Chain A
Amino acid sequence: MAAPIATAHTGTSLRVSLWRGRAEGCYQEFAVPRRENQTVLDAVTYVQRELDPTLSYRFSCRVGVCGSCAMTVNGRPRWTCRTLVAKVIEDGRIEIGPLANLPVIKDLATDMAHFFARWQEARGVFVATATRAEPLAGIRPDSAGRIAADQAIECINCGICWSACDTVRWNDDYLGPAALNRAWTLVNDARDGGGAERLTAITAKGGCQACHTHQSCEQHCPKGLNPTASIAGLKRHAMRAFIRGDLG
């Protein structure tokens, strides 16, 4: 029988400081038994189950697939299920807050409606040009467009890039890295028919031109995506359209 993954209690405690409240509130500290291979999500879960059932937080898969557990950990947005306590602990303490740049519902749970609304505004939605009655579109996986789309397609809308982005924080019109990154995948999708509306959307107020190339999105994306590169691609796409006279 395989040995279980070590969860032995190390005999020491962590000081886990958790945001309590809404936009205003305070950090509340808890002592959490330190375990080997403990993740930040393990620590939060321990607090809610053993110490304070009124703590609100969000998680789902626990294995780094869904993105629901994203929170601010020692100042940076991270997936808490994939963040080992050992990697982020500072002086025996971890500070955990809700994702930045989003309204706080309660404690560690944020309202992501605005994040998804931006997705729609950027026209990050596939527009079909064929039905099931027609033959399958022949898209070569090694075509330039498909390669570009594939490099950006794995986004699971976890909101970490939105949370890391200063331009999101400074410019309330900004569509944001995730929405623009998705728009870029569709710009490169030969089957999509929504190009004209999407072009207008990504060059409107808060469009791709608002990105200042900080690369905070790229640095924090747990999927290793690069919205900065996608947005640079959108800028080139829009400039070419402008030169052709296609930009309204």
Chain B
Amino acid sequence: MSFRRYLIQRITAVLMAPLIVAHLALILWTSGQGLTAADILSRTRGSLGWGLFYGGFVALAAVHGAIGVRGVAREWSGLRDAALDALMWGFGAVLLGLGLRAVWAVIA
């Protein structure tokens, strides 16, 4: 792991920690209520706040997840260098793409 990737991994972790606590709190709070699509969308549709929260969350998760997966692949597979970078960027792009699409899906 390069030191720069290590730093970005740690920074995204620190920034995501409170978002995850909020996300878990939300999950626990709504889990007993039989969540419907209407419950979710009536709150998220047209909401800049939710857009920013989850948009930021997605971006952080995409970076953190991509670097993490690269690190594990470096140590547990025979992949090296260019192949590892391709895995990292590819996986990151998938997470970012699908994630922002999902955010769009609920706020638009």
Contact = CB atoms under 8 A, between A and B. Distances in A.
Interface residues of A, number: 13
Contacts of A209: 1-3, 5-6
B2, B3, B75: most-surrounded residue (chain A CB, <10 A)? B3
Nearest to A242: B7
Interface in B1-41: 1-3, 5-7
Interface of A: 167, 170-171, 203-205, 207, 209-210, 238-239, 242, 247
Contacts of A167: 75
B69 to A, nearest CB: 15
Nearest to B76: A170
20 contacts: A167-B75, A170-B75, A170-B76, A171-B74, A171-B75, A203-B3, A204-B3, A205-B2, A207-B3, A209-B1, A209-B2, A209-B3, A209-B5, A209-B6, A210-B1, A238-B3, A239-B7, A242-B3, A242-B7, A247-B3
The 5 closest A-B pairs by CB, nearest first: A209-B6, A170-B75, A203-B3, A209-B3, A209-B1
Contacts of B74: 171
Given A170-B75, A205-B2, 7 more contacts: A167-B75, A171-B75, A203-B3, A204-B3, A209-B2, A239-B7, A242-B7
Contacts of A247: 3
A207 B7 CA distance: 13
A150 to B, nearest CB: 27
Contacts of A207: 3
A177 to B, nearest CB: 16
B83 to A, nearest CB: 16
B24 to A, nearest CB: 24
A100 to B, nearest CB: 16
A205 B71 CA distance: 12
B81 to A, nearest CB: 10
A246 B82 CA distance: 28
A242 B7 CA distance: 9
A171 B80 CA distance: 11
Interface in B71-105: 74-76
A145 B3 CA distance: 24
A242 B76 CA distance: 29
